[in-house]
Structure formats: C-alpha cells, structure tokens
Amino acid sequence: MKKIQVAPSMLSADFANLAKDIELVNQYADIIHLDIMDGVFVPNISYGTPVIQAVTNRATIPVEAHLMIVEPQKFFREYRDFGISSISVHYEACVHLDRVVNQIKELGMKAGVAITPHTSAYNIEHIVTVADYILVMSVNPGYSGQKYIPYTTQKIAQVKSIIEKNNPNCLIEVDGGVGLSNINEIAQAGADVVVAGNAVFGAENPADVIRKLQVTL
C-alpha cells in the first residue's frame, strides 16, 4: 500500500502572512515545495534567498526546492546550508545534466530532474539511474493556478514504466494544476508525490484538501 505525499507550493501562499501558511503546511503536509524562478528560464520571478531562508527557518518538515533557473548549481551549497533536503533542476536548463545531478547528491541532498510538458518521457531513460526523483510538470512552468495539461497523465505512466525498468527507487513527483478533481488519475498513473499550490491555498479549508490529496493506493 502506498500513500501519496503532498507538497504544497508556497508560491500560492499569502506572502504577507507567510508564517501562518508555513505552520499550516508543517502540521498537515509531507513536504514544503519552493518554486525558484529567475525570469530567464521561465517568464516570471518568484522569490530569492531571504524568503527561502525564512521558510527553511520555520519549517519542521522537509523542504524541497524546484529550480526553474539557468545555472542552478550556483545555489546548491547555500540551499543545503539552509537545510533544504531535495533539489530538482530542469532537464531543459542543464546542458550537462548528469554532472549537475551528481553535484546535488555529493552535497548530501536528494536530486530531482524536472521535465516540462513538451519534453518526452523517454529523455529520462539514462538520468533516472542517478536521480532520486523525476518531477513531471503538468503545466508550463512559471505560474501557479494554471490548468492541468491532460496528456501529462499518459506521460506519468510512461515515466513510471521507464523507472520500473531502470531504477525502481526513483520517485515520481507531479507539479501543476493538481487538485481534487484529478488526484485519482494522477495517483493511478504512478505519482508518489504531488505538488499543489492553488488547490491548497485557494481553498476555504486547506488542511482538508491536503488530507484528501494524500490518497492511499
């Protein structure tokens, strides 16, 4: 039996009252998801070092960083020192992805490889043998509150079969447009962890949504 882990994305949190939302996530969720954007790899800028550190200082559950930036390796050591336990980098942003993934692991963190919607699942066939998780983006990275792209479900299943063949320890994380209406198909397709921004922080009862997303299979 497996239970889906839920990683609320702080991009949808109330930045004027961040402490309150961190406490909520600490209490009910499994992982804190930080979306780091540089306005170069993606058309948006999210937040930088002071905000990241403010979150890690208050977090009592693991914090993961999703780096939607070019040259992500510049920040690995700093984020590790803040207490971040997992970092995902984009397949599309790293020319020497194998080297970058190994740099994360050498610093003692878990390494994830994120793929945008247009990237074929088959591109992860080799990197999956060194990665700890594959982050399948189900929206085009850059913004929270977007609609789930339906063909992602088939891609999750393809990633799952590649993982089973090449490195069964590698997990699948799904990020973008995840909510109560599609959690079952995402879980069935092979997700282990789901990221949810708008579905959690836009809800009247975020704790209840987190609980409902933590489906058991």
Residues noted as catalytic: 35, 175
For the stretch 12-16, contacts whose Cβ atoms lie closer than 8 Å and that sit 24 or more positions apart, written own/partner, are: 12/144, 12/145, 12/197, 12/198, 12/200, 12/201, 12/202, 13/201, 14/201, 15/47, 15/51
C-alpha separations of 112 from 40, 54, 214 in Å: 20, 23, 21
Q: Which does 132 bind (CB under 5 to 8 A by kind): ligand DX5, Zn ion, none?
A: none
Closest contact distance (angstroms) between CB of 202 and ligand DX5 is 8
By CB under 6 A, what part of segment 4-63 binds ligand DX5?
9, 11-12, 33, 35
Neighbours of 187 (CB within 10 A): 22
Choose which of 6, 28, 31, 35 interacts with Zn ion (CB under 5 A). Answer: 35
Does residue 145 bind ligand DX5 (CB under 6 A)?
A: yes
For Zn ion, which is the closer residue by CB, 44 or 106? 44
Does residue 66 bind Zn ion (CB under 5 A)?
A: yes
For ligand DX5, which is the closer residue by CB, 31 or 104? 31
Q: Is 30 left (phi over 0), alpha (psi -120 to 50) or beta?
A: alpha
- Binding residues for Zn ion, rule: CB under 5 A, are 35, 66, 175
- Binding residues for ligand DX5, rule: CB under 6 A, are 9, 11-12, 33, 35, 66, 139, 141-142, 144-146, 175-178, 195-199
